Amino acid sequence: MGCIARLGCLFVVVCLAILGWFTRDLWLPDRFRTHPSTASVLAWQPLSEAGADSTRAALTKLSQPRGPVFQTLSGAAVASYVFREVARQLPPSTDSVQAMVQGDRMSMRASVDMSELRGLGGAIGMLGGRERVQLTGTLRLASPGLAEFQVQQVRIGELPLPRGMIPTLISRFSRARRPAELDANALPLPIPHYVGDIRVANGRITLYKNTQ
């Protein structure tokens, strides 16, 4: 009977240990709790004037002769500044614009009236009403005073757009005269001439001053 009692106590201890492990976030101090990884909490963010203003302030510092030679900002801040420029080139029906930066890539999505994108062909050409259009790509300096958002992936609703059709879609968005140095799959982004380079890495964006 003593052996059976000891086994019973051991079973109870094991059960309590298992219960304690799965409920640890309720009783452990915060520093010992599990927290979701950065990748799992990445989220779309609406464009904000506060984010755009912080980027403008960083650009102002770069413009000063004795100012810093680079400024590193959050992806959300630069995305708000950049995509407000991009949004001006989108179809008039565009609304609910959101942005996200993950690693070295930037994404923007918005709700668009499909009647403004007719002629794309395939299943996408059959879509009607409003759909969410998502653009994903990279940001780079094309020439002094001009950056470009190079679009590498497009989704319209749940359908991916073939890469060969991206320039056709971009031509619908970019209605103004396109500079010769701009890639066919890129949207132009006017920037100050004193910005010499742009780097996107680890969800953050660094703007470098042109020191030449």
DSSP type of residue 10: H
User: Do both 13 and 71 map to the same domain?
Assistant: no
User: Do both 68 and 100 map to the same domain?
Assistant: yes
Residue 174 domain-assigned?
yes
Residue 40 domain-assigned?
no
User: Do both 25 and 49 map to the same domain?
Assistant: no
Q: Is 41 helix (H, G, I), strand (E, B) or coil?
A: helix
Which two tokens mark 58? 């960083």
User: Do both 99 and 150 map to the same domain?
Assistant: yes
Report pLDDT for 40. Answer: 35
Residues in CB range of 156: below 8 A, 6 or more apart: 114, 117, 120, 124, 127, 131, 132, 133, 134
Cβ(101)–Cβ(81) under 8 Å?
no
Q: What is the mean pLDDT of the chain?
A: 77
Highest mean pLDDT pick, 112-121, 145-154, 200-209: 145-154
Residue 199 domain-assigned?
yes
Residue 97 domain-assigned?
yes
User: Do both 28 and 64 map to the same domain?
Assistant: no
DSSP type of residue 82: H
Q: With 90 as the cut, is the pLDDT of residue 151 above it?
A: yes
Highest mean pLDDT pick, 12-26, 115-129, 134-148, 198-212: 134-148
d(CA 56, CA 63) in angstroms, rounded, equals: 11
Report pLDDT for 35. Answer: 47
Mean pLDDT along residues 52-81: 87
Domain count, the chain: 2
Greater confidence (50 vs 8) lies with 50
Q: With 70 as the cut, is the pLDDT of residue 206 above it?
A: yes
Greater confidence (7 vs 189) lies with 189
Answer positive or negative: Cα dihedral of 192, 193, 195, 198: positive
d(CA 152, CA 100) in angstroms, rounded, equals: 15
Greater confidence (23 vs 172) lies with 172
User: Do both 79 and 131 map to the same domain?
Assistant: yes
Range of the domain at 97: 45-209
Report pLDDT for 37. Answer: 41
Residue 26 domain-assigned?
yes
Residue whose C-alpha is closest to residue 109's, from 67, 59, 54, 46: 46
Q: How many CB atoms lie within 10 A of CB 124?
A: 22
Greater confidence (75 vs 29) lies with 75
User: Do both 115 and 57 map to the same domain?
Assistant: yes
* Region for 133 from its dihedrals, namely left if φ exceeds 0, alpha if ψ lies in -120 to 50, beta otherwise: beta
